[in-house]
Structure 1
C-alpha cells in the first residue's frame, strides 16, 4: 500500500477534483452576489397615454434618474402593445399612464384647494408578467411600484407646499387624498391560477430533464457493459457498435418513462397550472429529455472516462444559467453567455411558454424548438457516424485477421502435387509411405488444388494404394 501512495498517478483525482470544485465556487457564487449589479438588463415597459403634461414628467424622471443604469426601459405606444409584449414574455412588467392622468390630478388639486370631499386619486396602472418566475416578478413589481409611489409623493409634496403658502388647512376627509394623490392599480396580465409553485415549475422540469440525461448516459453504459460481460461468457457478446446502439435505444426508453412520470407528478399529484394541452407539454418534455441524453452520451463517446468531469460542470452550468431560478437579466455575463450556448435555458423557455403563455412561439417556444432541434440532430448524427465507423473498423480488423490466419496455415501445411516417382510406386509397390503422405497433403489442400488434379487420376491412385496394401 505504501508503494501506491508513492505513485503520482494515485494523487491525480485528488488535486484534479479539488481544482474543479474551486472553479465551481468562482462560477456559481457570483450568481448570488451580483444580482443588483445587473439590473440594467431587466426589461420593463412604460406607456404614456396621458393627454396632458404630467405624464411627460414621469418619463423625464425615468430618463434623468434611471438613464439606463438601473433598468432597461422600453417605451411602447399603447397599453395594448404593452399587453401583447408581456403575453409574449418580452418584458417583466409595464407602467401605464392613462389618458386622463393629468385631468385626474387637476381634479384632485381643485378638491383639496376648495375643501370639497369624496374625490378619488388619479390612477396609475401596473401590468405584471406573473409567469416569468417569482424573483423576476418581484423585481418588476417592486420597481414599478416604486416609480408610481415616487410620482405620488412628488405631487403630494407640491400640493402641501401650495396649501402652506396659501395658509389653508386640509379637511380631515381629504388627509388621505393629500398623502396619496395617486393610487396604483396592479394587474396580472396572464391571469394564471394561484397554483404556480412560485413560477418554478419550468425550472424543476428542466432540472429533471438535464439530470436524467447525465445519469442515464453513465448508468446505462455501465450496466450494459456488465450485461455484455455475461453474454461474453455465454459466447454471444455484442460488438462495440451494437452496445452503443443498445445504449441509445435504452436511453430513449428511459427519457420516455421519465417524461411520463414528470407529467404525473407535476400535473397529476401537485396539480400545477398549465395553459397548454398536457400531451403537448409531454412531447416537449420527452424531446428535451432525449436531447439532453444524446448530448451527454456524445460527450461520453468523445472523452470516455474523462466524460464525467465534463458532464458535471456542463450540467450545473446549464442549470444555473437557465434563467429558471434566477432571471437571466440579473446573472453575471459569463452565465448569460453560457445560457445562449447550453440547451437547458431553451428547455426552461419552452416549458414556460407552454405552461404560462398558451404555447405561443413568440413567447420563447419557437426559439427553444429551434435550438433543441439543432442539438438533437447534431448529437444523433455524431453518434450514428461513430457507430458506423466502429462497425467498419471492426470488420476491417476481422478481415485482416482472417488473411493472416490463412497465410499461416498455408505455411504450416505446404501442398505439393504427387511426383512421377510417387505415381510409379502404385505399380511397383515401392515408396508406399511417401505416396500416402502425398495423398494426405492433397486431401488437406484447398478445394482449388483438388480440382486442379485429374479426378480419375486421384481415384485410381487410391484404388492402387488399397490393392498393394492387400
Structure 2
C-alpha cells in the first residue's frame, strides 16, 4: 500500500475551514474588545466623578457679604455644558482629599479661601499698583488612571476658565464707569480674573509607573494563573498517563492511571494552589526586590498575589476541564481578551461603551487590579477597592468550583470518561 505524504493533509478542506473559523473569530473578537473599548472615550464618557470644592471665605463688598466661590461651584454644578459626561460632586476639602486618596475621584476643582477677596481687590485701590491674579486650583489623580485623570483635568480646566470669564463679566458690569480709572493691566485682569493652576491631588512615588504599576502587576498575576493552568493541566494528564510529553526529540509516556474527570480537576487544582505560593512570591520578589517597584504592606501584597494567582488558575483549570482543547481559547478570551480593555487602567470605566462597562462588573482582571491599586497607592484601604477585590475573588473561586466540578461530575455520571472502560483503537479519518 502506497504511503500517503503528510503534506497531503493540506488538501483537506476541513483543516482549512476549522482553523480559519477559529483564528478569524479570535482576530475579530480581539479587535472588537481592544479597539472598540478605546476608540472614542470622550464620546462614551458618562458621569466621570470629579470633585468640586469651595474653600472661599468670601468678602464684604459694598456693605454686603459676597462669596464668589459659592457662585462658581453652584454654576458649574448646574451647568449643562458637559451634559452627563462629568459627575460634579460638591464636597469639602477634607472629603475631596479622602476620595482622591481612595481613587474615587479622577480629579477636583478647588476654589481657594481668598478667592473673593483677591478678585474684588482688582477693582479697588490696590489694583492701581500691582494687581495680583486670583487662582482656581485643578487637582489631578494619576493613581486612578492617567487617561481618566487627564479627562478630569480637561473638564475642570474648561469649567474654571468659563467660570472666570463669567465672573469677569459680572465685575465689569458692576464696576461700570469706575473701570476707566483702572490701569490697563487691571482692566485685562478684570475681564478674566482667575488663573488656573494644576497640581497633583494624590502624588505617587517615582517608581509607580505614573499610576500603571498596579495594573501591570495585576496583569502579571492573572497571566501567571492562566498560563500555569495550561501547563499544570498538561502535566497532570501526562502524570496520569493520558497524554504524551514531548521534550525536544524525546517522547515520554507514563503508564495509564485511570482517574475520573473530577479527580483530574482536583489534582490540577491542588497543584495550582501549592504552586501559587511559589509564583506569588517570585512575582513580588521580581517586581519589588529586583525591579524596585514602590510598594508597602508587603505581607498583604504577597497574600493577595498568591490568592489572585490561585483563583485565576483554578478558574482557567475549570474552563479547560469543561471545554477540553477549545478551553484554552475560552480562557484567553475571558482572562485577556475581555479583561484588559475593561480593567480601568488605560481607559476609565466611566469612558467605556455600555457593553464593556457590563463586562467590567465581573471580569477578573478589573477586580484584582482594584485590590492591588488599593495596596500600592491607597494604604490598603478597604473602601479603595481592596474589599471588593477580596469579595470578587472569593465569588470567582466559588463559581469556578461549582462550574468545573459540577460539569465534570455530570460528565462522569453520564459515563463520558476520557478513556472508556473498553477503549477501541484510535482511528482518525482525514479526507485527502
Matched residue, 2:79: 64
Conserved? CA contact 1:117–1:173, under 8 Å: no
Greater shift in the superposed pair: 285-294 or 248-257: 248-257
Change (3 A) 1:161 1:13: same
Give aligned pairs, total.
Answer: 395
Conserved? CA contact 2:45–2:350, under 8 Å: yes
In 1: Cα distance, 2:224 partner to 2:171 partner: 62
- What SS is found at the alignment partner of 1:341? coil
> Structure 1 residue 87: deviation in Å?
2.1
Greater shift in the superposed pair: 385-394 or 185-194: 385-394
Measured on the aligned residues, the alpha-carbon RMSD in Å equals 3.4
In 2: Cα distance, 1:125 partner to 1:363 partner: 24
Equivalent of 1:13 in 9, 16, 19: 19
In 1: Cα distance, 2:277 partner to 2:88 partner: 43
* Per-residue Cα deviation, 1:113-138 (whole angstroms, up to 9, x for no partner): x6532443323233333311222222
Change (3 A) 1:165 1:266: farther
- What SS is found at the alignment partner of 2:339? helix
> Structure 1 residue 185: deviation in Å?
4.6
Conserved? CA contact 2:240–2:259, under 8 Å: no
- Which entry has the higher C-alpha Rg, 1 or 2? 1
Equivalent of 2:367 in 337, 342, 346: 346
Q: TM-score, normalised by structure 2?
A: 0.79
Matched residue, 1:39: 45
Matched residue, 1:81: 95
- What SS is found at the alignment partner of 1:239? coil
Equivalent of 2:394 in 338, 349, 373: 373
In 1: Cα distance, 2:224 partner to 2:253 partner: 31
1:30 aligns with 2:36: yes
- What SS is found at the alignment partner of 1:168? helix
- What SS is found at the alignment partner of 2:46? helix
In 2: Cα distance, 1:387 partner to 1:374 partner: 20
Greater shift in the superposed pair: 91-100 or 282-291: 91-100
In 1: Cα distance, 2:110 partner to 2:203 partner: 18
Change (3 A) 1:371 1:235: closer
Matched residue, 1:284: 304
> Structure 1 residue 355: deviation in Å?
0.7
Equivalent of 1:331 in 352, 356, 359: 352
> Structure 1 residue 260: deviation in Å?
1.7
Q: TM-score, normalised by structure 1?
A: 0.73
- What SS is found at the alignment partner of 2:89? strand
Matched residue, 2:429: none
In 2: Cα distance, 1:382 partner to 1:26 partner: 27
> Structure 1 residue 389: deviation in Å?
7.2
Change (3 A) 1:256 1:176: farther
Matched residue, 1:48: 54
* Per-residue Cα deviation, 1:24-83 (whole angstroms, up to 9, x for no partner): 32332222212111233211121234443423442324523436333121222x222222
In 2: Cα distance, 1:74 partner to 1:377 partner: 37
- What SS is found at the alignment partner of 2:324? helix
1:321 aligns with 2:335: no
Matched residue, 1:95: 109
- What SS is found at the alignment partner of 1:17? helix
In 1: Cα distance, 2:413 partner to 2:32 partner: 45
- What SS is found at the alignment partner of 2:88? strand
In 2: Cα distance, 1:355 partner to 1:273 partner: 7
Conserved? CA contact 1:295–1:375, under 8 Å: yes
In 2: Cα distance, 1:234 partner to 1:268 partner: 40
In 2: Cα distance, 1:390 partner to 1:67 partner: 55
1:129 aligns with 2:141: yes
- What SS is found at the alignment partner of 2:210? helix
Change (3 A) 1:182 1:384: same
* Per-residue Cα deviation, 1:85-139 (whole angstroms, up to 9, x for no partner): 222322112212245422321112214xx65324433232333333112222222
1:307 aligns with 2:340: no
In 2: Cα distance, 1:8 partner to 1:235 partner: 33
- What SS is found at the alignment partner of 2:207? coil
- What SS is found at the alignment partner of 2:234? helix
Conserved? CA contact 1:163–1:169, under 8 Å: no
- What SS is found at the alignment partner of 2:128? coil
Matched residue, 1:107: 121
* Per-residue Cα deviation, 1:125-164 (whole angstroms, up to 9, x for no partner): 3333331122222222232223223333444566678889
In 2: Cα distance, 1:158 partner to 1:270 partner: 56
> Structure 1 residue 333: deviation in Å?
1.2
In 1: Cα distance, 2:334 partner to 2:138 partner: 39
Matched residue, 2:316: 296
Matched residue, 2:63: none
Matched residue, 2:290: 269
In 1: Cα distance, 2:17 partner to 2:319 partner: 25
- What SS is found at the alignment partner of 1:89? coil
* Per-residue Cα deviation, 1:185-219 (whole angstroms, up to 9, x for no partner): 54434343232201111111121122222211212
Higher relative CO (Cα under 8 Å, sequence separation at least 6) belongs to 2
In 1: Cα distance, 2:253 partner to 2:293 partner: 50
Contiguous gaps of at least 5 residues in structure 1: 402-470
Matched residue, 1:408: none
